């Protein structure tokens, strides 16, 4: 087991030096913590897959600190509508998939001829990329299929001794991952709902195609897996009569949804604010997940704005049983 160094913003130069030498370092973004490696360094990127126990067929997002940095990574012109989304939402929680250039190694994109690109809206993430001087490939900094970390402590909980370092800069504001949209399909297609909502995207570029949470697609191989999962079965929107409350936990959106008889109940947003619910979702799953419960019962949010992204994560965390487990 190697020692994982904890960096602060004052020692960001040292974190960048570890990355430049082929190390892997977790860092905060406005969505969740990422586990970074220099994107053009095949060996470093392989270490990221190993540390996370992530299957090699699930491609990584490449993070940049400014728009110029994407030019060498893509092939062809950036489509007009992709440019409009960059103007509107970058830096921010939007990942855009475009045809890749040869500079991006196959290990990053799992052999696809496309690359996912994101300019995070977090000063530490941007500065770390700038200091490293290279685009940084970074999946969420969790063990594969577990919940994404929203604090350095959550990163260390899963990855201490498996990674070279983590930059500790507090909690992530948004709390769930970026929206992923691809421009490599006949129509722009939303692959993962996230911090930017469908309505926000459509207000800029008009109608887009949207895939369902558990729908499979060969050009998006990471989508259909059991994901974000606590270590016990989770059930969504069950009637009370079908719940077994003994040693079980409950996750509600608002306080009035709480059902009596649960020893452990977490309310995601007392005021009914979906953004607050998103911010609290993963820490709630982690808290209940650590209690050795027999089940967690959760309710979905109204399917609007970031509520759609919270519901997507809840649905994927609730893929229980043989089919879900075998894909881990």
Which residues here bind ligand TXA, judged by CB under 6 A? Answer: 29, 31-32, 34, 58-61, 93, 95, 97, 109, 112, 114-116, 118, 120, 138-140, 177-178, 180, 191-192, 220, 222-223
Output the CA torsion 128→2→144→189 (10° steps): 20
**Residue 245, class by beta-carbon neighbours within 10 Å (0-12 exposed, 13-18 middle, 19+ buried)?**
middle
Nearer to Mg ion, 12 or 191 (CB): 191
Closest to ligand TXA by CB, 34 or 249: 34
**Cα–Cα dist 287/268, whole Å:** 12
For Mg ion, the closer of residues 4 and 140 by Cβ is: 140
Closest approach of Mg ion to the CB of residue 138, in Å:
10
Give the burial class of 323: count Cβ atoms within 10 A of its Cβ; 0-12 exposed, 13-18 middle, 19 or more buried. Answer: exposed
Residue at shortest CB range from ligand TXA: 222
* Closest C-alpha to 136, from 119, 151, 156, 159: 119
147 contact, one of Mg ion, ligand TXA, none, CB 5-8 Å limit per kind: none
Residue 33 CB, nearest approach to ligand TXA (Å): 7
Q: Which is nearer to ligand TXA, 88 or 243 (CB)?
A: 88
- Choice between 114 and 283, CB closer to ligand TXA: 114
Q: Is 33 left (phi over 0), alpha (psi -120 to 50) or beta?
A: beta
Cα 136 to its chain centre, rounded Å, is 15
DSSP-derived 3-state class of residue 179 = strand
Helices and strands counted in the chain (H then E): 10, 15
Token pair, residue 156, equals 């260390």
Residue 92 binds: one of Mg ion, ligand TXA, none (C-beta under 5 to 8 A by kind) = none
Closest distance of CB 148 from Mg ion, Å:
5
305's contact among ligand TXA, Mg ion, none, with CB below 5 to 8 A by partner kind, is none
- Contacted entry of Mg ion, ligand TXA, none for residue 222, CB cut-off 5 to 8 Å set by kind: ligand TXA
CB of 168 to ligand TXA, least distance (A): 15
Find, among 192, 163, 135, the residue nearest to 315 by Cα. 192
317 binds, among Mg ion, ligand TXA, none (CB under 5 to 8 A by kind): none
Nearest distance, CB of residue 192 and ligand TXA, angstroms: 6
**What minimum distance in Å lies between the beta carbon of 140 and ligand TXA?**
4
Q: Is 140 in the site for Mg ion (CB under 5 A)?
A: yes
Task: Count the residues of the shown chain that bind Mg ion, applying the rule CB under 5 A.
Answer: 1
CB 152 within 8 A of CB 169: yes
Provide the phi-psi class of 170: left if phi over 0, else alpha when psi is between -120 and 50, else beta.
left
134 or 316: whose CB is closer to Mg ion?
Answer: 316
Beta-carbon neighbour count of residue 239 at 10 Å? 6
Q: How far is the CB of 205 from Mg ion (least distance, A)?
A: 25
> How far is the C-alpha of 36 from the C-alpha of 308, rounded, in Å?
27
31 binds, among ligand TXA, Mg ion, none (CB under 5 to 8 A by kind): ligand TXA
Q: Which two tokens stand for residue 179?
A: 């929206």
Closer to Mg ion by CB, 124 or 138: give it. 138
Residue 29 or residue 284: which is nearer to Mg ion going by CB?
Answer: 29
Distance CA 328, CA 222 (A): 11
Q: Is the dihedral of CA 60, 151, 52, 193 positive or negative?
A: negative
Q: Which of the choices Mg ion, ligand TXA, none does residue 44 contact, using the CB cut-off of 5 to 8 A by kind?
A: none
How many residues are given for the chain?
A: 328
Q: Which stretch binds Mg ion (CB under 5 A): 138-146, 161-169, 207-215, 234-242?
A: 138-146
Interface residues with Mg ion (CB under 5 A) are 140
């Amino acid at each position: 087991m190697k020692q994982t160094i904890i960096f602060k913003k004052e020692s960001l130069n040292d974190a960048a030096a570890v990355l430049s030498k082929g190390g892997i370092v977790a860092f905060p973004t406005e969505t969740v913590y990422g586990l970074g490696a220099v994107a053009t360094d095949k060996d470093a990127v392989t270490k990221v897959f190993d540390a996370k126990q992530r299957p090699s067929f699930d491609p990584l997002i490449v993070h940049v600190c400014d728009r110029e940095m994407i030019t060498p990574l893509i092939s062809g012109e950036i489509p007009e509508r992709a440019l409009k989304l960059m103007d509107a939402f970058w830096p921010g929680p939007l990942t855009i998939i475009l045809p890749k250039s040869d500079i991006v190694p196959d290990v990053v994109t799992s052999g696809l001829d496309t690359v996912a690109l994101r300019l995070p809206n977090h000063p530490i993430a941007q500065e770390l990329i700038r200091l490293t001087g290279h685009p940084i490939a970074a999946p969420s900094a969790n063990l594969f299929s577990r919940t994404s970390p929203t604090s350095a402590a959550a990163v260390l909980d899963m990855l201490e001794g498996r990674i070279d370092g983590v930059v500790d800069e507090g909690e992530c504001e948004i709390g769930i991952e970026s929206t992923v949209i691809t421009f490599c399909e006949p129509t722009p297609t939303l692959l993962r709902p996230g911090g930017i909502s469908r309505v926000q995207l459509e207000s800029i570029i008009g109608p887009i195609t949207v895939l369902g949470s558990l729908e499979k697609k060969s050009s998006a191989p990471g989508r259909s897996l059991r994901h974000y999962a606590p270590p016990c079965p989770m059930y969504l929107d069950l009637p009370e009569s079908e719940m077994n409350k003994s040693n079980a936990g409950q996750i509600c959106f608002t306080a009035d949804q709480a059902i009596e008889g649960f020893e452990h109940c977490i309310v995601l947003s007392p005021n009914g604010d979906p953004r607050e619910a998103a911010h609290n979702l993963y820490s709630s799953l982690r808290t209940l997940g650590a209690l050795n419960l027999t089940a967690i019962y959760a309710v979905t949010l109204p399917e609007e704005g970031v509520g759609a992204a919270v519901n997507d994560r809840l649905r994927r965390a609730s893929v229980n049983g043989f089919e879900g487990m075998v894909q881990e």
